[in-house]
A and B are shown apart, each in its own frame.
Chain A
Amino acid sequence: MTTMTRNLPRAGAGTRVARAEKPYVHPYAAGILLGIVLFLAFFITGNGLGASGGMNRLLVAAQDVLMPTHIDRVPYLLDMAGGDRNPLDSWVVFISIGTVLGGAVSGWQHGRTKLEINKGPQISNRTRLLMAFVGGGLMGYGARLARGCTSGQALSGGATLSVGSWVFMFAVFAGGYLVAYFVRRLWN
């Protein structure tokens, strides 16, 4: 019975059979849930959360296959994949795998999984994708520079009261607010 109603096209939703897009959870409620996940990560494993580290190791694993001799010459890469070291043998890789799975399941469950581009009203898809790539590049570079991203530094280090992570967090917001005015056309 439930499946039937779910598959019925809704008024105004067109004739495509799709899950109706549900509203997001209230920010405070989501924050409490995220805090509990973060706490459990520390409580059970002693490690926090992370994302860019997992992406880093996936990348290094690919490099290790494509150009192993290069890996063995760069100390930074050597540390992760030199000799018989397996760059994927790290908890943070599995956090990232879980993150993708969790996002996919929730998106599907709440009818928010659809092929689309989210952007401000004034720019073309091409500009948005170009900026996404540039922004991603800056994020990736900055995250390695700072030894962690929003998850691995700001959330994890913030909750464990690391001085460096709190300074880092303010730097991220400062960087964003400093530049926001100049790129307002992208989003408004």
Chain B
Amino acid sequence: MSPFPLPIDTLLGHWQSYIVYVIIGFGFGYVLEIAGFGKSTKLAAQFYLKEMTVLKVMFTAIIVAAVLIFLASALGLLDYSLIWVNPTYLWPGIVGGLVMGVGFIVGGFCPGTSLVSAATLKIDGFVFVLGAFFGIFAFGETVSLFEDWWYSSYMGRFTLQQFFGVDAGVVVLGVVLMALAAFAFAEWSERTFGKGAVGKQPRWRLGAALVLVALAVVTIILGQPTNADRMARLESMQNDILNARAVQIHPAELLSYLNNRQVVPYVIDVRGEADYNAFHLPGAHYVPLDEVLTHAEVLQLQPRNTLFVVMSNDEAAATQAWRILNAEGIANLYLLEGGVNRWLDTFADAEFQAAYRVRAGGDDQLAYAFPAALGARYDAADPNPAAFAGLEYTPKVTLSVGRGATGGGCG
């Protein structure tokens, strides 16, 4: 597994981990201030083409961060699937953006810069902050009037590399080149409209541009890791875990979590459609093995106290699914020991077993022949936990808080 992002919640403790955010925020505020973003006149000048500081700082920051993020991911240091990518709600984003653009030129700040401005005692910055609080308050009071629209045009975690259907490195290079073109335009515009108000540009910027382009090319050459790459890298570690039987949980342990209000179990049934229709656990998600990888994105969006359990008839397909999902960085991931066959051996009554257990099993096929495709309506699909309270097993589940983004954006 890529070492970053760090599980800071686990490393430092919940409230202590917020120290890290204070430090990052400190760096953010400091840099905004030294860029001159605490001064409204400097920000507003952007819109009269005299001084393009806002464009330069913003786009430089974006391309530097993008190059570093995708280079780190290509090197296997950072797991891109664990970092927060703002979900796309197309129309609310566009309308909100337009409203903010107007607010920017009328008020002279955006929310982040107004905080810095107020922190350096600019009265207009302070009043802007008050206005922003009022706007946020007004939104909370009025959002119910158009809530359906606010949730509309949702496209989920939708990235430019998905949109263009190319490797992320190619998009990064494209963004870098686009930004460099924008800088050339900005410098021309400052010379033309600003009439020398902006000083000479330093020569090192050309070298810096070359470095960024070179790093983007390296990112393309390395390529973003695929699931197969990650599985290959993790193979020996996964073998150790699986051979130690550390993640194969007893049917009774799963049953206890299915009836536990503190955790959210998410059962993934990777068997074929016929087997699933014949019998499955209540609430089990039907995800055939070849769709498990694409389903990983859905799993990444589940709450952090989710317990993921994969199951097949015995263990072979479930083990494969576990390897795939583990390589995708899914935390709290287990598989059902002995699969559906062991579940039925444990919870179906003797009469049912005598009548329908027709095969020896062990080949990951269903060992039971069901009289009808009743799915989750068999008694054994939803056994009464009290009746099986005496079952002994070794508890294996340890829920970790997980790592990566917690809600991201401006949540």
Residues on A close to B: CB < 8 A? 24-28, 30-56, 58-60, 63, 74-77, 90-108, 110, 112-120, 128-129, 131-180, 183-184, 186-188
Contact = CB atoms under 8 A, between A and B. Distances in A.
15 contacts: A38-B62, A44-B6, A50-B410, A76-B143, A92-B411, A99-B32, A103-B116, A106-B33, A135-B102, A135-B107, A141-B138, A142-B95, A160-B80, A164-B93, A169-B97
Contact of B101 (A93, A133, A152, A176): A176
Contacts of B123: 115-117, 129
Given A55-B129, A103-B38, A162-B87, 7 more contacts: A25-B35, A39-B72, A46-B403, A46-B405, A102-B26, A138-B106, A153-B410
A46 B84 contact: yes
- Tell me what chain A mostly uses at the interface: helix, strand, loop, or mixed: helix
Interface in B274-323: none
Contacts of B127: 129, 132-133, 136
Interface centre among B25, B114, B161, B208 (most CB of A within 10 A): B25
A94 to B, nearest CB: 4
B335 to A, nearest CB: 26
A160 B405 CA distance: 13
Given A46-B83, A102-B28, A143-B111, A117 B122 contact: yes
Interface stretch (B152-160, B246-254, B357-365, B374-382): B152-160
A45 B20 contact: yes
A164 B100 contact: no
B106 A35 contact: no
Given A133-B128, A161-B85, A180-B105, A138 B100 contact: yes
Interface centre among B56, B127, B407 (most CB of A within 10 A): B127
Nearest to B59: A31
- Tell me what chain B mostly uses at the interface: helix, strand, loop, or mixed: helix
Nearest to A26: B202
Contacts of A146: 92-93, 95-97, 99-100
B34 A135 contact: no
Nearest to B40: A118
A83 to B, nearest CB: 15
Nearest to B92: A145
Contacts of B129: 55, 136
Interface of B: 4-6, 8, 18-36, 38-42, 44-48, 52-53, 56-66, 68-69, 72, 77-78, 80, 82-90, 92-125, 127-141, 143-144, 147, 150, 155, 157-163, 168, 171-172, 175, 183, 202, 205, 208, 403-411
A97 B404 CA distance: 21
Contacts of B28: 34, 37, 41, 49, 95, 98-99, 102, 151
Contacts of B138: 137, 140-141
A48 B138 CA distance: 26
Contacts of A40: 24, 27
A140 B134 contact: yes
A27 B163 CA distance: 31
Closest 6 CB pairs of A and B: A135-B107, A175-B101, A98-B25, A136-B131, A31-B60, A140-B135
Contacts of A144: 96, 135-136, 139-140, 143
B86 A160 contact: yes
Contact of B86 (A42, A102, A164): A164
A107 B120 contact: yes
B132 A140 contact: yes
A148 B87 CA distance: 11
Contacts of B32: 34, 99, 102-103
Contacts of A44: 4-6, 8, 20, 24
A36 B30 CA distance: 13
Contacts of B104: 135, 139, 172, 175-176
Interface centre among B39, B80, B106, B143 (most CB of A within 10 A): B106
B93 A31 contact: no
Nearest to B158: A163
Contacts of B143: 76, 144
Contacts of B34: 24-25, 30, 33, 106, 110
B410 A159 contact: no
A47 B23 CA distance: 13
Nearest to B95: A145
Given A98-B21, A106-B30, A74 B140 contact: yes
A171 B97 contact: yes
Contact of A136 (B82, B109, B141, B175): B109
A172 B101 contact: yes
B93 A167 contact: yes
A147 B92 contact: yes
B141 A74 contact: yes
Contacts of B105: 135, 175-176, 179-180, 183, 186-187
Contacts of B409: 48, 50, 53, 147-148, 152-153, 156-157
A76 B85 contact: no
Given A38-B61, A46-B405, A164 B98 contact: no
Contacts of B39: 118
A135 B106 contact: yes
B61 A136 contact: no
Given A43-B5, A136-B134, A147 B102 contact: no
Contact of B131 (A63, A139, A178): A139
Contacts of A177: 47, 101
Interface centre among A63, A98, A118, A135 (most CB of B within 10 A): A135
